[in-house]
Amino acid sequence: MADGKELLARSSAAAAAVLRMNSSRQGKTSYTNNSDVQRAIASVTKKARQDMAAALYRALGHPASMAIADLGCATGPNALLLVSDAVEAVLAEKSKAEEEEPQHQLQLLVFLNDLPGNDFNAVFRLLPSSPLAAGNGCLVSAWPGSFYGRIFPDASLDYVVASSSLHFLSKAPAMKVTNRGRVYVSVGSPAAVKDAYRAQFEADFSTFLGCRAAEMRPRGLLLLTFVARRTAAATAHDCYLWDVLADALMAMAAAGLVDEEQVHGFNVPFYAACPDELVEVVSNEGSFTVVGDAMELFESTRLLLASSQHPTEEEDDEEEELPRWLAVETVSTIRAVLEPMLQAHFGPAAMDELFSRYRILLEAYYRDKASINKDDITNVFLVLEKKHH
């Protein structure tokens, strides 16, 4: 079993690995091959994002240049998706304006941000076949760094997007009590655990907004999509992915495969905020206003992908296989995102066994009468405008 110093070292290593996803070198378990849900989430907000990009271009008086940034672009097929949507919308609006009068040459500055470990070379290899290809007036650059700090020059950005990333905190919250047997806020977690998670989110989100406020021009738009919850108090279903992961870890501890104290000492740096919490942080930070009533909650579910990906055709077979398919696909996504952090804390030898147990427990969850095939996750789409004092 690991001693205290080793556990502390692993905890520090896990903290350093918090927001690094499985690279393309991981093959089957890479984020590149397991980001279809994130793409589906982005598709829900596409029209609204494009409408706002076009409206901003008009509001700015058809400027000679616009700066567009994606915070947390990652790698793989989605890396250029959000900025491409914005570029397409702005170019379409420019073409429409040219029907009435000639427009000057438009230069679009496209900034791609993620952590320094992101494979930006792989992202740039996607450029020739994207709407950002040479000839569209796009100048694309990479800006590595955490979005919980400053990244870009003062007053340099007009339109900023971040999708499926802000639910991850800068670090796991500091706990006054041990979150025993759990890895996240659970319905039965002590109040101190819930308070610690909320406090960490509020500090991080406020820092995020303050940094973007310095980097954005007045009237610039910040469009954010991330995991949320509908109610002030988290429900059991809000927490199920993390509760089931904790159950898998505790079962491994009972079998002597990991140290139980390691499980008690691991807290995922993740938080799903409710609307009241979001509004409170935006109001207290003070640099942005919520655009109109643009705070939309919506559900994402793999069931929307099942028709194209599900391996069976017979209805009876589908009813039997769907929970297994949901479990396999969900575990693939979670592994692609969390494995580096889990591996740093529990060691690489535990990973295959952990995700095997996790799949079995998730399948049981999706077969349970109370939660049969219930894999929906609540997301928030939040649009903020930089104040122009």
> pLDDT digits over 317-374, tens only?
567 899 999 999 999 999 988 999 999 999 999 999 999 999 999 999 999 999 999 9
Under 8 Å between Cβ of 71 and 145: no
Place of tokens 């705070």: 295
Under 8 Å between Cβ of 162 and 41: no
Q: Tell me the pairing of strands 157-163 and 65-71.
A: parallel
**Edge-to-edge strand list for the sheet holding 377-386:** 138-142, 107-113, 65-71, 157-163, 216-227, 377-386, 288-300
Residues of the chain with pLDDT under 70: 1-35, 306-318, 389
Q: Which CATH number fits domain 4-386: 3.40.50.720, 3.40.50.150, 3.40.50.300, 3.30.379.10?
A: 3.40.50.150
Ordered by start, the domain boundaries in the chain are 4-386
pLDDT digits (tens, 9 = 90+) for 109-159: 999 999 998 999 999 999 999 999 877 899 999 999 999 999 999 999 999
The predicted model scores a pTM of 0.90
φ and ψ at residue 240, rounded to 5 degrees: -65, -40
